[in-house]
A = this chain, B = another copy of it.
Amino acid sequence: MENNKLPKVGRYLFLAEPFHCNFKGMLFPGHLGNHMLNAADFHSDERGYGMSKLLPQHKTWVLSRLVLEMQEMPKVYDKFYIETWVDGIMKFFTTRNYSVVSPEGKVFGYGKSIWALIDTDTRKPSDLLELNEGAILNYVEKEKECPIDNPSHVKMGKQANRIKSLKVSYSDIDMNGHVNSMKYLEHALDIYSLDYWGKKALRRLEIAYIIEAYYDCTLHFYEEEVSADHYHIRVTKSDESSEEETDVCRIAFIFEDNK
């Protein structure tokens, strides 16, 4: 479905399904992140530059950065819209924003992301402006508000402790053959105890993706508390051939006390 008359902002309805909610009846951040990826996919597909159009051309979108800042999480059975729009284009990257809102207009939170277009054969960046005759340029929205901080640089000090290592599993691997980008987030959120989650809410999360991991990898999670309730996590991978570790992604979490 390609349609030049579509608005620049896409708006998609989701439901906080019961088994996508945590023990407090709030949507798991990983499932919200997945819905944001879906919204981005629907939005780009309807406008002529989505995955279903790209894959036959041996191109794909790769998520490079994701930031999510939530005032409140949708609760079980809440319906909510994810609005998404492209707000900037560089040769090899786009910036895409999100808002998460209730049908009544209450804002749950906002997101920002950076995506690269790559060639699936060479794994190298591909020129966005050549994509479907520059279709993406018709849909840049600069006015709509997304009042959260841009992605920061997630610095790791020397104090980070290795918290856990896990072998990549069948359920971690997505249709591109690498570890699903939301799985890093889920595995990282699993570092925090149920007791901690009982007292806190996740206010902001950031992920910066560096390189992909595959089925034969083991992932290692290093964590450091930067300040109270503010954590940086470095995820590395190693494989069977060597114990040498390569950085896969960096994550920042800012929790706050329950309101």
Task: Give the distance to chain B from A247, nearest Cβ to Cβ, in Å.
Answer: 23
Asked if A182 is at the interface of the complex by the 8 Å CB criterion, the answer is: yes
Residue of B nearest to A186 (CB): B171
Residue of B nearest to A172 (CB): B190
Task: Give the distance to chain B from A115, nearest Cβ to Cβ, in Å.
Answer: 14
How many chain A residues touch B (CB < 8 A): the figure is 37
Asked if A103 is at the interface of the complex by the 8 Å CB criterion, the answer is: no
- Determine whether the beta carbon of B189 is less than 8 Å from that of A170: yes
- Determine whether the beta carbon of B19 is less than 8 Å from that of A38: yes
Contacts of A215 in B (CB 8 A): 194
- Determine whether the beta carbon of A192 is less than 8 Å from that of B175: no
Chain A stretch 16-57: residues in CB contact (< 8 A) with chain B: 17-25, 28, 30, 34, 37-38, 41, 51-52
Interface flags for A96-117 (1: CB within 8 Å of B; 0: not) read: 0000000000000000000000
- Determine whether the beta carbon of B189 is less than 8 Å from that of A23: no
Task: Give the distance to chain B from A42, nearest Cβ to Cβ, in Å.
Answer: 10
- Determine whether the beta carbon of A23 is less than 8 Å from that of B174: yes
Contacts of A186 in B (CB 8 A): 171
Contacts of A170 in B (CB 8 A): 22, 189-190, 192-194, 197
- Determine whether the beta carbon of B17 is less than 8 Å from that of A175: no
Asked if A246 is at the interface of the complex by the 8 Å CB criterion, the answer is: no
| Copies of this chain assembled into the complex | 2
- Determine whether the beta carbon of B190 is less than 8 Å from that of A169: yes
- Determine whether the beta carbon of A19 is less than 8 Å from that of B190: no
Asked if A95 is at the interface of the complex by the 8 Å CB criterion, the answer is: no
Chain A stretch 149-199: residues in CB contact (< 8 A) with chain B: 169-171, 173-177, 180, 182, 186, 189-190, 192-194, 197
Task: Give the distance to chain B from A176, nearest Cβ to Cβ, in Å.
Answer: 8
Asked if A77 is at the interface of the complex by the 8 Å CB criterion, the answer is: yes
- Determine whether the beta carbon of A171 is less than 8 Å from that of B18: no
Contacts of A131 in B (CB 8 A): none
Residue of B nearest to A183 (CB): B19
Provide the bound-state CA to CA distance between A19 and B51, in Å: 12
Instruction: Using A22-B174, A23-B173 as known contacts, list a sample of 18 further A-B pairs with CB atoms less than 8 Å apart, ordered by residue number in A.
Output: A17-B38, A18-B174, A18-B175, A19-B38, A19-B174, A21-B175, A22-B170, A22-B173, A23-B174, A23-B175, A23-B176, A24-B175, A30-B171, A52-B77, A76-B175, A170-B192, A170-B197, A173-B194
Q: Could you list 6 A-B pairs, sorted by A, with CB under 8 Å?
A: A18-B174, A19-B34, A22-B175, A23-B173, A171-B186, A171-B189
